[in-house]
Chain A
Amino acid sequence: MAITEQSLNWDYDGPIMEVTGLEKHFPQSTGIIHQLIGGETSHVKAVDGVDMAIESGETMGLVGESGCGKSTLGEVLIGLQEPTGGSIKFLGTELDSMSDSQRKEFRRNVQMIFQDPYESLNPRFSVEQWIREPLEVHDMDNQDERIYEALERAELTPPENYIGEHPHELSGGERQRVSIARALVLEPKFIVADEPVSMLDVSVRASILNLLRDLVDDLDMGALYISHDLSLIRQMCDRTSVMYLGKVVERGPTEQLIKGPKHPYARALLDAVPVPNPDHNISEPQLEGEPPDPVELPEGCNFRPRCPFAAEECFEEPGLDAFQTADGEHAAACWRVETVDNM
């Protein structure tokens, strides 16, 4: 039920962010000769048919190898990149069909935190200018109070000590808090955090993770947390999606997925995470080599060429419903889950 035509439907009680069949294909630059003779442009299928729904107050983990399309998916979700197919719904409203003012509202309500704390702040802006910018862009009132509040939320206290600083005067952890404050100052409802702690020291990681988790709870935001490391995902996320070559191959409640991964790729990903336990010596990797470029994908299951358990049936492409637990919460795009489980 919308109050005015312009406003987004804030009473919507479905998932805050929902995508179906989402695709992002980048045209691959081919030689000019190739184009002249009328060769077809090939595409890098960075995101290739993803369905995902994220509820308010929930953090969804997105895990996968380098290059599998995690950042691209995150950026498409918040409108930083245009999808080439599929649909994105925010609060139940299709992104494509939003009016200008709704789009502005959308912009204000989805934000992102980037990986590199050293490059994601403009070196020439002070902390205050940097956090004020979103408020200026959206023409918000009470800017000073909002800036103070955001700094306090991000645990940069007392705020007076930070507002005049420039990025080069801050530590990595402090910079990442500034990024968080900037993302929060607009009081967004959905946030994408792309490897926010991978470049931080171990001693401050936990505090940033705890901060993010508390914020999602307190502000009832939806969040997508991107990482290649399941041990970090485990600390942060309620549910987790495992991505391989542009597709989600497994999804489930995080603990359940970590205790019992179903897709061979998820098993390998979990096995690869080093554990701080000296009894656990490094074992032979389950996966050799690296994923192929997502240009010409193999017929059937994407993972088949690298999969130690591949069989005849894998020449047919599995959907995410190929394996499902009774409650439907935990699902994997693999035909051979039961066979492998019994091995």
Chain B
Amino acid sequence: MTLLEVNDLHVTYAGDPDVEAVRGVSFTLEEGETLGIVGESGCGKTTLAQAIMGALPDNGRITGGEIIFDGQDITHLSNRERREIRWERMSMISQSAMNSLDPVYRVKDQIKEAIQEHRDVSDAKSYERARELMELVGLDPDRVEDYPHQLSGGMRQRVIIAMSLALDPDLIIADEPTTALDVIIQEQILYRIKELQRELGNSMVMVTHDISVVAETCDSMVVMYGGELMESGNVDEIFNNAHHPYTLGLQNAFPSVEGEKRDLTSIPGSPPDLSEPLEGCPFASRCPFAAPECEETVPVQEPVDGHRVRCHEPVPFEQIRDRSGEDETWLSQNKV
């Protein structure tokens, strides 16, 4: 059953100038599934996550499209109505969450607050739940007595995960949950998140810039660039049969400890300015395969077997795939 459906979503930040950070993104998330959202810095990942969560900054507004959660259109709910869904039914682990714990309160009091905000439970019950949650994320329950500064970065991040699980949400949105951590802690936390998901059966949106994290933890994925969706589909399909030059560029730029060592490619140039309207494909200026039509019209492509690519296919996809693995391909165009 579909839990979350996002249709042609647009989000704009008011300012001088306005920034349209999400520009028509669509995807669906099935119950119990994990969806990865990848893309480079500033492409609108966090904005998208916040829009779904109903937690956009004050100057951010949904300017088009719809978000359907469990059959209900939640795009234009009032703040009060949103708040009921938020945390109760969906929760978020935000990008810099581990620094967002309040330094002057003990961990147990912060978890208690999170619970009592939405549920009418006694202090004693909440503390009990706090200890349970700590155990769930692999921490010693006695550490609920600690203050945040007594915990390492990795432990604080686990506390945040514990808080996001406090109300048994159906959907967890994790925005770069492990970016600031080393590989050992990252593995421990991702593994724990997956284990919990298996046990509790909730769905998850995993936002990250690391495609190897998506490969290891997600069922389907969305590749974003310049606020738009470039390619989406099942993770196996995207990794084995990617079409879009940007997706391929990312894959070839990624190092691996597996297999034979190979040279990495990079994608010269920089992402588009999201304060300007864009004709054509946002990636055109950095794409070594771009043809004139790429600069002129926005490519739209019908999904085939759930695999969607937004590319004009200026060169046959076969060729794009072959040539994108070579550094010269990317260096051949003018550097910005």
Contact = CB atoms under 8 A, between A and B. Distances in A.
State yes or no: do A and B touch (Cβ within 8 Å): yes
Interface of A: 65-66, 171-172, 201-207, 209-210, 228-232, 234-235, 255, 258, 268-285, 287-288, 290
Given A274-B186, A274-B216, A276-B239, A206 B257 contact: no
B253 A202 contact: yes
A287 B185 CA distance: 9
26 contacts: A65-B182, A65-B184, A65-B185, A171-B270, A206-B255, A206-B264, A210-B264, A228-B184, A231-B257, A234-B257, A235-B261, A270-B257, A272-B183, A273-B212, A274-B186, A274-B216, A275-B256, A275-B257, A276-B215, A276-B251, A278-B215, A278-B239, A288-B138, A290-B152, A290-B184, A290-B185
A303 B100 CA distance: 32
Contacts of B183: 228-230, 269, 272-274
Most buried by B among A205, A255, A269, A276: A276
Interface residues of B, number: 47
Interface string B126-155: 000000000000100000000000001111
B258 interface: yes
Contacts of A268: 184
The 5 A-B pairs of least Cβ separation, nearest first, read A206-B264, A207-B266, A274-B212, A206-B266, A203-B267
Contacts of B216: 274-275, 278, 280-282
Nearest to B139: A289
B215 A285 contact: no
Contact of A203 (B40, B155, B239, B261): B40
Interface in B244-298: 249-251, 253-258, 261, 263-268, 270
Interface string B166-201: 000000000000000111111110110010000000
Contacts of A228: 182-184
A275 B187 contact: no
Interface string B199-222: 000000000011111011100000
B28 to A, nearest CB: 19
A216 B269 CA distance: 25
B188 A235 contact: no
Interface of B: 40-41, 138, 152-155, 181-188, 190-191, 194, 209-213, 215-217, 235-236, 239-240, 249-251, 253-258, 261, 263-268, 270
B215 A272 contact: no
B187 A202 contact: no
A71 B264 CA distance: 26
B257 A205 contact: no
A235 B255 contact: yes
A10 B184 CA distance: 41
A290 B258 contact: no
Nearest to B238: A278
Contacts of A258: 257
Contact of B266 (A204, A234, A271, A272): A204
A201 B41 CA distance: 6
Given A203-B266, A282-B217, A290-B152, A66 B255 contact: no
A285 B250 contact: no
A275 B181 CA distance: 17
Contacts of A202: 40, 209-211, 250, 253-254
A290 B212 contact: no
Nearest to B40: A201
A285 B191 contact: yes
Given A202-B250, A234-B257, A290-B152, A66 B239 contact: no
Nearest to B221: A278
Contacts of B267: 203-204
B264 A272 contact: no
Contacts of B266: 203-207, 210
Contacts of B213: 274
Given A66-B153, A202-B40, A206-B265, A272 B270 contact: no
Contact of A290 (B154, B194, B209, B211): B154
A285 B194 CA distance: 12
Contacts of B212: 231, 273-277
Given A206-B264, A275-B215, A288-B138, 16 more contacts: A202-B40, A202-B254, A204-B267, A207-B268, A209-B264, A231-B255, A232-B255, A234-B257, A271-B187, A274-B210, A274-B213, A277-B215, A277-B258, A280-B258, A281-B216, A282-B190
B211 A276 contact: yes
Nearest to B235: A278
A18 B254 CA distance: 33
Contacts of A288: 138, 188
Nearest to A258: B257
Nearest to A155: B335
Contacts of A255: 261
A235 B264 contact: yes
A252 B213 CA distance: 27
Contact of A285 (B41, B188, B251): B188
Nearest to A228: B182
Nearest to B38: A202
A274 B187 contact: yes
A288 B138 CA distance: 9
A200 to B, nearest CB: 9
B43 to A, nearest CB: 10
A124 B153 CA distance: 31
A223 to B, nearest CB: 18
Contacts of A270: 257
A37 B179 CA distance: 44
B176 to A, nearest CB: 12
Most buried by B among A171, A258, A275: A275
A288 B188 CA distance: 7
Given A277-B239, A280-B216, A290-B152, A203 B185 contact: no
A210 B188 CA distance: 31
Contacts of A210: 263-264, 266
A267 to B, nearest CB: 12
Contacts of A209: 264
A197 to B, nearest CB: 10
Nearest to A201: B40
